[in-house]
Structure 1
Amino acid sequence: MTPGPGFYARRLAQAGAVLAPMAGYSDAPMRQLAAEQGALWTVSEMISSRGLVLGGESEKLTLGRPYPGEQGRVVQLFGAEPDILAQAVGRAEAWFAPAALDLNMGCPVPKVKGRGGACLLQTPEVAYDLVRAMRAATPLDVSAKIRLGWDADRSVEVAQGLAAAGVSLITVHGRTSAQRYTGEADWDAIARVAASVAVPVVGSGDVRSAPQARARRKAGVAAVMIGRGAVGNPWLFRALATGEDTRPDARERARTALRHAQLHVAFYGADRFGLLSVRPLRKVLHQYLPDHPELREALVQVNTLEDVERALAPLWQGPPHPAPRPGPPPAEHEEHVALSAP
């Protein structure tokens, strides 16, 4: 059953952290691992509203498609046209059963210029119209993820406008769009936003450990969102949900890396060549085992599940994995912009 309003308030009553939307990373397998370890909620890779409405996409779009039984997943949309976004909200709700909808106002990649993302920080009044259109299209919570500004800090002004437009939650990444991912996230600026609006504020930027996350909570945020720090480390969510910071040993981390590959194959199925490929995980798997650099060369060259097993053999020993049931092939017209966390 589709959740109703109040999702964010219910989840924020619990301890923990949030998995950030990261194109090319926060897909269904990664979301599943984070959710199992206690993430408050997860956010999909961003989806083009025009792609959903005008691009021939369907419920088979892997960017939005949930894994079996998935709950607590927020679908993030980007766009700059209120009527298109409103229609996209309806389709996302019908096809993907999200817990809430999020507006991307933070993606700094030039190829989305003029189509939403961080460009909206230059014309925030457009973003307020987008939020109102999204809210009119769904009973679910609507949130927005912003940066501090385009090239200067306007975050308090923008956050107050978003709150007035009716968002249920605001996530703030502590950099401007011009900074991209350089320098350090400004958590003092995030704290000013949190103090300026009545809606909950989630802080994002440069959180790579549980002690860091706990320290960032002192900025007055309702929760911390973790992106790159969670790649290869879903146990970070367990630590923040339970207070137990014990890091798994290399054997458990190797087993989880293998399971990530198994989930990948089961979710995506065969590629266009008919292969059960794990090539997209080349950038991920070695991050489970940063203390074993001798495995990196093999892990960044894997093609199949068997390659992953062989690469991890020095650390992981046990019975052969059960053959995964292939999922449906990817949608033919799916749009996927490869980005880092917005």
Structure 2
Amino acid sequence: MQGFYARQLATGGLILAPMAGYSDAPFRAVARELGAAWTVSEMMSARGVVNGDATLDLGRPLPGERDRVIQLFGADSELLAEASARLYQLFCPEAIDLNLGCPVPKVRGRGGSCLLQTPERAYGLVSAMRAAVPCDISAKMRLGWDIDRSVEIAQGLAEAGADLIAVHGRTAAQRYEGQADWNAIAQVAASVPVPVVGSGDVTSVEQAQEKRRLGVAGVMVGRGATGNPWIFRQARGGTAPGEDERVEVALRHAALNIAFYGERTGLRQLRKVLPRYFPARPEWRDSLVRVDTLAGLRQVLGCVDVAA
């Protein structure tokens, strides 16, 4: 029987990458509604999940949310196994992903890309997660810590039980500088028996199509989807949005944020995204980054008289 990743990859489409502060439940829902093959949560600390602290909110789904993967980070196999089991019991995700790519200093030493320095340890983490839950397990990695060891590491992850490997085309030392090396990602895809999804610098459907031709099973989009969730629809042959639809989807996103966080917090959290919905309306930007009520947002968008 095919697992979740194999089934979803067969449908085509792009994947919403995990992004701290962005890939929360409301945006995941918008992306999935507009055609994302699946979505990945913000990364969650395995220790925080086990301790039952506010970390759990990062994985909390919206009612009816579908095709959702939860991402964990950590460096202790027992903690990751326990966290995986708890998340599966609480939220029943389709898959659980291990973060081996975050280069942020506060994560180093507790997981993320630092594990690429000791890949055997990362293999043990995947094995422990694999044994803890019945759903698919994946890992999202970079090319290596400071040199490209991606083929070797990906082969080890596959042998450890990963059902899918996502590869960001930079080393941890590069962080987000320079350009992602998609030729290296293609070499990984050709070297392992599990699907490989590529990530890095994809901001348009044309770029995604070009990357797919390199032999990867799928393409992740992160920053290129913020304020532009139509990229998922367009990847499936759909149309680009007009301004009316941009307004409609921005309001949909706002309504979901309000339902999830409350009005004041939800709209403040959305301020960083709202201007991206309207690249042709720079005159709206100053007002959009100050909204804190739905009525205020509707007024900025010129639809104050439209029913909510």
> Which residue is 2:280 aligned to?
291
Q: TM-score, normalised by structure 1?
A: 0.87
Contact 2:48 2:56 in 1 (8 A): no
Contact 1:77 1:104 in 2 (8 A): yes
Deviations 1:72-93 (A, max 9, x none): 1001000000000000001110
Output the aligned Cα RMSD: 1.5
> Which residue is 2:23 aligned to?
26
Deviations 1:163-208 (A, max 9, x none): 1101000000111111111111110110111011110000001111
CA distance in structure 2 between the partners assigned to 1:86 and 1:234 by the alignment: 33
Aligned: 1:238 with 2:233? yes
1:47, CA displacement in angstroms?
0.5
Q: Letter of the aligned partner of 1:281 in structure 2?
A: L
> Which residue is 1:254 aligned to?
247
Q: Indicate which of 182, 188, 195 corresponds to 1:193.
A: 188
Q: Indicate which of 12, 17, 27 corresponds to 2:14.
A: 17
Aligned residues: 308
Contact 2:298 2:304 in 1 (8 A): no
> Which residue is 2:133 aligned to?
138
> Which residue is 1:338 aligned to?
none
Q: TM-score, normalised by structure 2?
A: 0.96
1:150, CA displacement in angstroms?
1.1
Q: Indicate which of 123, 127, 131 corresponds to 2:118.
A: 123
Aligned sequence identity (%): 62
CA distance in structure 2 between the partners assigned to 1:318 and 1:256 by the alignment: 17
CA distance in structure 1 between the partners assigned to 2:305 and 2:135 by the alignment: 44
CA distance in structure 2 between the partners assigned to 1:143 and 1:218 by the alignment: 22
Q: Indicate which of 207, 213, 232 corresponds to 2:208.
A: 213
CA distance in structure 2 between the partners assigned to 1:64 and 1:43 by the alignment: 9
Contact 2:44 2:56 in 1 (8 A): no
> Which residue is 1:8 aligned to?
5
| Residues 1-342 of structure 1: pairs in structure 2 closer than 5 A | 6-54=3-51, 56-57=52-53, 61-241=56-236, 243-244=237-238, 246-269=239-262, 275=264, 277-313=266-302, 316=303, 318-321=305-308
CA distance in structure 1 between the partners assigned to 2:31 and 2:81 by the alignment: 29
Pick 1 or 2: higher relative contact order, CA cutoff 8 A, min separation 6.
1
Unaligned runs of 5+ in 1: 322-342
Higher helix share: 2
Contact 1:146 1:171 in 2 (8 A): yes
> Which residue is 1:333 aligned to?
none
CA distance in structure 2 between the partners assigned to 1:177 and 1:193 by the alignment: 17
